[in-house]
Amino acid sequence: MNIIQLAPVDWAIIVLYFVAIIAIGLYLKKFTKTGDDFFLAGRRNSSWVAGLAFLSANLGALEILGWTGGTMKYGMFVSHFYWIGAIPAMLFLGLYMMPFYYSSRIHSVPGYLKLRFDERTRILNAISFAVMTLLMSGINLYLMALVFRTILGWDWHVSMFVSAAAIACYIALGGLMSAIFTEIVQFFLIWFGLFLVSILGVIELGGIQAVFAGLPERMGHLWATTADASKNAMGVTWAGIVMGLGFVLSFGYWTTDFLVVQRAFSSKDLRAARTTPIIASFFKMALPFIVVVAGIVAWRLSQNVDAGFTLLKHPETGEPWNDTALPLLIARYYPVGLVGVGITALLAGFMAGQAGNVSAFNTVWTYDIYKAVLNKNASDAHMVWMGRVATIVGILLSVVTAYVAMRFNTIMDYIQAIFSWVNAPLFATMLLGMFWKRTTSSGAFYGLISGMSVSFCIFMGFKLAWFSPAVARILTFSSDPSDMSRNLWQASWAWVVCFVMTILISLVTTPKPLSELTGLVKGLTPEPDDTRVSLLKRPAFWAAIAFVVLVALNIIFW
């Protein structure tokens, strides 16, 4: 049964949104003639356009429903995934890694691996990234269907196929340019449509002080309870947060995940590309004021039997379904007319994430798998055609993976596990490749395989209860680790194994000559010169301000 009956004006808003994004795709189709147009938006975007798209591509299921539900489970600890788990990596990408990416004029992150190492490393990463992207794409479809089911009572299958069809239309028509234009629209829709949920929740509970006052100690702090894993809801120590999240998972995602990095590649010049993630970092720091506040409001309401707020039951496990928290808050607070805006904002977030995954998938498939292995002589026009075909196929495969995502009660545990398999070891490979000239192709390839294998084996070991309590304690530094704690530590082990194996193998194998590493490695790549521009136009200046704000937020919510 549906939770709320939509008025005609609500339906009109939702339908208008779907019509608008498809119209954007139709309009932009005439501007997508070449491979650069379709896959990189012609490399002509400003840092603000690219920056908003950079963040909007990350504003899918991961940010909205996932972390609102995650807050009900982990409390204030969720803010770590926005602050320590994102901002340092975004600043590092802009200041230090973007010169290597942008200067090499690559179409994708696997393309950099080919130039720096060899074809086998490129294909290994391309395949693993493609699989990861399809899994993530399925999560977005699943959560879009969840919104329709939770609020409107629609059938799962109808919901997913309607959502998939809309996304397929505008990405297949306009490519990355279409994705970026719609992501910017979606960015403002998300803020306008969802920020009010937090405000109304705070008002109902009696003010911001009442929302945070008296929270259980294990849920109410960022760092104060991290000396002992048993004293916080995530069951992790400060070492796990700093190493597993702040370093490995964060840097692994923000600096190597082509889903977000692709947006910076669309910038018009190197300075704009470097500024892109730095601009996005300011908005990223503000997101907990939507997601975490809404999650705590939902938790407080669920603890009050008189509040009339009850999470739906998970269809697979029968347990309270944390991911339904935000749709239930929209149904609780928004009146007729405004509820259409709220639902459209949720759909915009999911479609932004879905579009990001699909546009990244079609680029990696077309350039790093299809052209590299199956059709090395493909023309530029044929590549654009293949990109459109890959978009449709990727959407259909995403429907399959959506049913996998449905089996998880809190989707964030599943997402972080995926990142630990692929992004965590890849960051070790990229870090050594960019900053150590001695890193060899064999070291990168076998180190990457080692890290990915270790991460997946640890995941399966916990999933199938292979590990004794003693082994679990060694792997996670906790006697009773949560799912999220296990993810953070398995990512850390993946990075360490990949980093060490890459170094050891590189020391006994032959590196590439320096002449082949120009523009790919520090010391052989021209350093960006910002001395000729004003202070306000320098990426380093804005990065310093972002870092100061980050430190202040962590102190305030200590």
Most trustworthy range by pLDDT among 75-79, 378-382, 406-410, 444-448: 444-448
The pair of three-digit structure tokens given for residue 227, joined into one six-digit string: 């000396």
Backbone φ, ψ for residue 517 (5° rounding): -110, 5
pLDDT at 509 over 70: yes
When the pLDDT of each residue in the chain is averaged and rounded to a whole number, the result is 76
| Stronger pLDDT, 212 or 439, i.e. the higher one | 439
User: Which string of b and e fits 35-49 if b means at least 16 CB within 10 Å?
Assistant: bbbbbbbbbbbbbeb
Backbone φ, ψ for residue 287 (5° rounding): -60, -35
Task: List, in sequence order, the alpha helices (H) in 407-510.
Answer: 411-435, 441-463, 469-476, 483-507
Task: Kindly give, in sequence order, each residue whose CB lies less than 8 Å from that of residue 269, ignoring residues fewer than 6 positions away.
Answer: none
Read off the pTM.
0.72
For 164-178, what is each residue's pLDDT tens digit? Answer: 776 666 555 555 555
- Alpha carbon 161 to its chain's center: 23
The pair of three-digit structure tokens given for residue 222, joined into one six-digit string: 């960022």
Q: In sequence order, what are the beta bridge partners of 45?
A: 267
HSE-CB for 204 with a 13 A CA cutoff: 20
556, 223 contact by CB (below 8 A): no
Planar angle of CA 140, 374, 135, nearest 5 degrees? 15
What is the percent of the chain where pLDDT is above 90?
Answer: 5
Distance CA 87, CA 281 (A): 6
The pair of three-digit structure tokens given for residue 223, joined into one six-digit string: 């760092």
Banded model confidence at residue 443, pLDDT cuts 50, 70, 90: very high
Banded model confidence at residue 151, pLDDT cuts 50, 70, 90: low
Distance CA 251, CA 491 (A): 11
Supply the pLDDT for residue 166. 67
- Count CB-CB contacts under 10 A for residue 28: 23
For 113-125, what is each residue's pLDDT tens digit? Answer: 888 888 888 888 8
Supply the pLDDT for residue 99. 77
Backbone φ, ψ for residue 318 (5° rounding): 80, 0
Spatial CA neighbour of 391 closest among 106, 178, 182, 186: 178
428, 502 contact by CB (below 8 A): yes
Supply the pLDDT for residue 30. 61
| Lowest-confidence segment of 126-130, 250-254, 259-263, 442-446 by average pLDDT | 259-263
Distance CA 217, CA 298 (A): 18
The pair of three-digit structure tokens given for residue 352, joined into one six-digit string: 């932004």
| Lowest-confidence segment of 58-72, 160-174, 255-269, 329-343 by average pLDDT | 160-174
387, 152 contact by CB (below 8 A): no
Q: Read off the pLDDT of each residue in 50-73 and give the average, rounded to a whole number.
A: 70
| Stronger pLDDT, 377 or 183, i.e. the higher one | 377
Supply the pLDDT for residue 42. 46
Number of H helices, E strands in the chain: 23, 0
For 222-268, what is each residue's pLDDT tens digit? Answer: 787 777 777 777 777 787 778 777 778 788 777 776 667 767 766 67
- Ordered by where they begin, the domains of the chain are 8-556 (1.20.1730.10)
- Alpha carbon 183 to its chain's center: 14
Task: Say which amino acid occupies 370.
Answer: Y
| Stronger pLDDT, 502 or 416, i.e. the higher one | 502
Most trustworthy range by pLDDT among 179-183, 203-207, 375-379: 203-207
Backbone φ, ψ for residue 315 (5° rounding): -65, -20
The pair of three-digit structure tokens given for residue 550, joined into one six-digit string: 């980050």
